[in-house]
Amino acid sequence: MAHKVFLFSLLACLSAPGWAADLPNPSLTPGAVNGAVTQANIEQTICVRGYTKGIRPPAHYTNRLKKEQLAEYGYPDVNPKHYEEDHLIPLEIGGNPTDPRNLWPEPRLSQYSAKVKDALENRLHRLVCSGQVPLLQAQEEIATNWITAYKKYVNR
């Protein structure tokens, strides 16, 4: 009987995506956009060098939120240093800077870590600002499953 339980557990693990923990819980972090950014004004907002510095929330806000969300997410490892409080829809493509629905404690120590997502954020910013990808499409793709978007735009 113990072998059957082990086999079932092993099969369940193998059938689940190995990166599922690297995605935010969509009921806690569905993403939220900045209403001040539209396709019509990207040349005056997100495509202006230094734009995100002016809207990025202060560290005291994100550090407090990270601790709260670590508890909400139920991560077994609650060391805040192991996570980056990240915007699901990045500021670079019109993500809301302070809405908790757009922020989550993203693991730093995993296959699809915060550093990996940063590469996608930079790529999408370039694609949106060059007119190759519409703003709304970039926002939807990264909010729906950023790992799939990473594989589509960065690691082809």
Q: The whole model's pTM is what?
A: 0.86
pLDDT at 1: 42
Per DSSP, the residues of 91-132 read GGGTB-SS-GGGEEEEESSSTT-HHHHHHHHHHHHHHHHTTS
pLDDT band of residue 155 (cuts 50, 70, 90) is confident
User: In this structure, is residue 3 part of a structural domain?
Assistant: no
Domain count along the chain: 1
User: In this structure, is residue 17 part of a structural domain?
Assistant: no
For 7-56, the pLDDT digits (tens) are 333 333 333 333 357 899 999 999 999 999 999 999 999 999 999 999 99
User: In this structure, is residue 108 part of a structural domain?
Assistant: yes
User: In this structure, is residue 8 part of a structural domain?
Assistant: no
User: In this structure, is residue 58 part of a structural domain?
Assistant: yes
Segment 68-86 shows an average pLDDT of 94
For the chain, percent of residues with pLDDT exceeding 90:
82
User: In this structure, is residue 7 part of a structural domain?
Assistant: no
User: In this structure, is residue 148 part of a structural domain?
Assistant: yes
Q: How many CB atoms lie within 10 A of CB 131?
A: 9
For 126-136, the pLDDT digits (tens) are 999 999 999 99
- Range of the structural domain that residue 37 is part of: 22-153
